[in-house]
Structure 1
Amino acid sequence: MRATAIAMIMLAAPVAAVPADGVYDGFDCTAPVSDQRVTLQGDRIVYYESSCHLTDPRSVEGWENATLYWANCRGEGQDWRERTLLMTRMDGDLIVIGDGWAERYAPCPNLQPRLD
């Protein structure tokens, strides 16, 4: 019993601070439509033409505001799964890192999240 409890503690990685739900944009929050707009809400991240369900959150040792996920995505007639790292900067920017790419998005506090 004790060995099982110790194993469970060792396997459970603490989850880092998750970026704030909201709308973010890579260029201009005031534009009515933007292909650089991202909505983060709960376990979903929605891009211009795709969306992902974020699962298995893991903290990144030494990075206080970073969480690594498996992203199960769908868009433009395709389904895929990839590792995705979400982190926030002190100014509230959302950083999204995938395999071979990274993007920075500024918060858009005047926009309400829409997950349609």
Structure 2
Amino acid sequence: MRRTMSCLLMCLLASPAFAGPFDGRWELDPASCGAVYSEARVAIADDRIGFVESACRLTNPTAIRGMDSAVLYDMECSGEGMMECSGEGMTWSERILLARDGEAGLLIYSRGFASRRQRCPES
């Protein structure tokens, strides 16, 4: 599990040519940024977002009128941190809203739940 997460994060955080406003590692608790493994970590790079046991491709970005820092995406996801849409036979799609919250905050709204993450320092 930890090896999968480490591989996923390395793939997701390879230096993109143009970093987007959401790119980086994000944690619920900034104290977890230095941990090798965290259940709450979210990694975003270009059109990819990675969670603890899944990886998703962000498609169809839609700006939200009147909310300059918010973007609504379609997500195409697969389980177990696989970059392709396969993983224990599970794939799914859903919508996700990402919005910046100040300089170091990220709001994530999906499946009727909202969470706030803090940006981890680059290592």
* Both structures adopt the same fold (TM-score exceeding 0.5): yes
Share of identical aligned residues, percent?
Answer: 37
Deviation string for 1:88-114 (max 9, x for gaps)? Answer: 111321111112111211111134xxx
> Structure 2: any 5+ residue segments left out of the alignment?
1-19, 81-87
Give the gaps of 5 or more residues in structure 1: 1-17, 112-116
The number of equivalent residue pairs is 94
Query: In structure 2, the residue corresponding to 1:91 is in which secondary structure?
Result: coil
Q: Who wins on radius of gyration, i.e. which is larger?
A: 1
2:120 paired residue number: 108
Runs of 4+ in 1 over 6 A off after TM superposition: none
Q: Which amino acid aligns with 2:117?
A: Y
What whole-Å deviation, never above 9, does each CA across 1:58-89 have from its counterpart, x for those lacking one? 00011110000000011143211001101111
Q: What is the TM-score normalised by the length of structure 1?
A: 0.74
Q: CA RMSD in A?
A: 1.4
Q: Which amino acid aligns with 1:48?
A: V
Q: Is the 8 A contact 1:19 1:86 kept in 2?
A: no
CA deviation profile, 1:4-41 (whole Å, cap 9, x unmatched):
xxxxxxxxxxxxxx533111111221222101111100
Report the Cα distance in structure 2 between the residues aligned to 1:68 and 1:96, rounded to whole angstroms: 10
User: 1 or 2 for the larger relative contact order (CA 8 Å, sep ≥6)?
Assistant: 1
Name the CA distance, whole Å, in 2 between partners of 1:61 and 1:47.
28
Instruction: Tell me which residue corresponds to 1:65.
Output: 69
